[in-house]
Amino acid sequence: METIKQIITNITPIAEPSLQKLAGLFEEIHYPKGHLLFRQQEMDRTIYFIKSGIARAYYRTEESDVTFWFGKEGSSVLSYNSHFNQTPGYESIELLEDTILYRIDHLQLETLYETDITISNWGRKLIEKEIILVEERLISRLLLNASQRYKNLMEHYPELLQRVQLNHIASYLGITPVSLSRIRAEIK
């Protein structure tokens, strides 16, 4: 389990005085498996980092849930629409394990951005890393077939296969659970 200071400095190194200010505003909280951090069509500008546990972001349709993101230790968790546009989010974010999080309010963070250039630059680096992760997921979804996406998941995030229900993995890969079973059998 990483401390909030480790998570912050993993994003980019930050001077000690700014690190102390930023880390001091985070609150550690615990939620049980199944808790919804964010609900689809609601606004919530809170920002979290996962200390321990795992989460998934999904969009609910009339027929099913479409999982499009998993977060694990060290991951940031926020609703982009709520955070940046001040509009309700399109996603729900569910905790898949009992989870310990670090939480900070958007307004507290904005105040630090306005008063400390080091923290403002840290926030820019955080968003840059998030954009790259979103782009990687998009490219994978558009350019790789289902079997390649599964192999990519095995290579880069093997712990997800041990910690996440297969129906969520199948949804994330854009396939049915039956197709996932077939792919897993072919790879073994």
Range of the domain at 32: 4-115
Token readout for 123 is 């926030």
CATH code of 83's domain = 2.60.120.10
Residue 94 placed within a domain: yes
Residue 156 placed within a domain: no
- Residue 5 CA to residue 152 CA, distance in Å, equals 30
Residue 26 placed within a domain: yes
- Residue 78 CA to residue 46 CA, distance in Å, equals 7
Residue 9 placed within a domain: yes
pLDDT in tens, 46-83: 999 999 999 999 999 888 899 999 999 999 999 988 88
Q: What are the percentages of helix, strand and coil residues in the chain, rounded to 5?
A: 50, 20, 30
Task: Map tokens 């200071």 to a residue.
Answer: 5
Token readout for 181 is 């079973």
Residue 135 placed within a domain: no
Residue 169 placed within a domain: no
Say how many domains are in the chain. 1
- Residue 120 CA to residue 9 CA, distance in Å, equals 14
pLDDT in tens, 8-46: 999 999 999 999 999 999 999 999 999 999 999 999 999
pLDDT at residue 83 in the model: 85
Residue 141 placed within a domain: no
Kindly tell me the burial class for residue 138, based on how many C-beta atoms sit within 10 Å of its own C-beta (0-12, 13-18, 19 or more).
exposed
Residue 29 placed within a domain: yes
- Residue 68 CA to residue 59 CA, distance in Å, equals 8
